[in-house]
Amino acid sequence: MTNGTDENKDRTDGDHVDRLRRQWARELPDLDTEPMTILGRAFRLTNLVRPSIEETFAGFGLDRGEFDVIATLRRSGPPYRLTPTEMYSSLMISSGGLTHRLDRLEKAGLIRREKALHDGRSVLVALTEAGKTLAEEAFRADMASEARFLQALDGQEREALAGLLGKLIAGIEIELAPARRET
């Protein structure tokens, strides 16, 4: 166990990832841990903010997955309807996982399932007015919460970081695309 002085010293010597890298450098000095400076921090960042994001959605009676469904419908634009296939492709979840979420959201009156006009066997998922309102309110609260986490960076730093992360993600998506097509 460390005392408060040790914790303060560690904070002035960098962040959590810097501490991990120093430990690995001591144990495996021949290993380049530079990838941790980005991917380790991205993982750490996600773990740090996830509870706050989940708490925000819980305040609206939603879990993260339920919010993702109504947000996907809301950002699709009028008439706020998508096929289940369009939804689970966008959400990157299984059709079974989506069905479970849709059942809960329909029971709550936030979405409804409608027969497609062009094909009576097909179903469309439509956002209700209550779902539209809740999606907007929850998203506004989430963005306000997330903005507080970014206060350590000024506008130019946020723009630069967002651009670099976008470039990194695009490169990773290109590299992983052949593997996804094979599965």
Give domain status of residue 48, yes or no.
no
Q: SS3 of 45, please?
A: helix
Give domain status of residue 133, yes or no.
yes
pLDDT the model gives residue 146: 95
- Asked if 140 and 71 touch (Cβ cutoff 8 Å), the reply is no
Question: Do 72 and 131 fall within a single domain?
Answer: yes
- Asked if 105 and 64 touch (Cβ cutoff 8 Å), the reply is no
pLDDT the model gives residue 5: 47
Helix (H), strand (E) at residue 47: helix 39-58
pLDDT the model gives residue 71: 96
Helix (H), strand (E) at residue 87: helix 84-91
CATH number of 142's domain: 1.10.10.10
Total domains in the chain come to 2
Encode the chain (183 residues) as per-residue pLDDT tens digits. Answer: 444 444 444 456 889 999 999 999 999 999 999 999 999 999 999 999 999 999 999 999 999 999 999 999 999 999 999 998 889 888 867 777 888 999 999 999 999 999 877 776 789 999 999 999 999 999 999 999 999 999 999 999 999 999 999 999 999 999 988 766 655
* CA-atom Rg of the chain in angstroms: 21
Structural domain containing residue 132 = 53-182
Give domain status of residue 131, yes or no.
yes
Question: Do 78 and 120 fall within a single domain?
Answer: yes
Question: Do 60 and 149 fall within a single domain?
Answer: yes
Give domain status of residue 42, yes or no.
no
pLDDT the model gives residue 183: 52
Question: Do 19 and 98 fall within a single domain?
Answer: no
Place of tokens 């809301």: 74
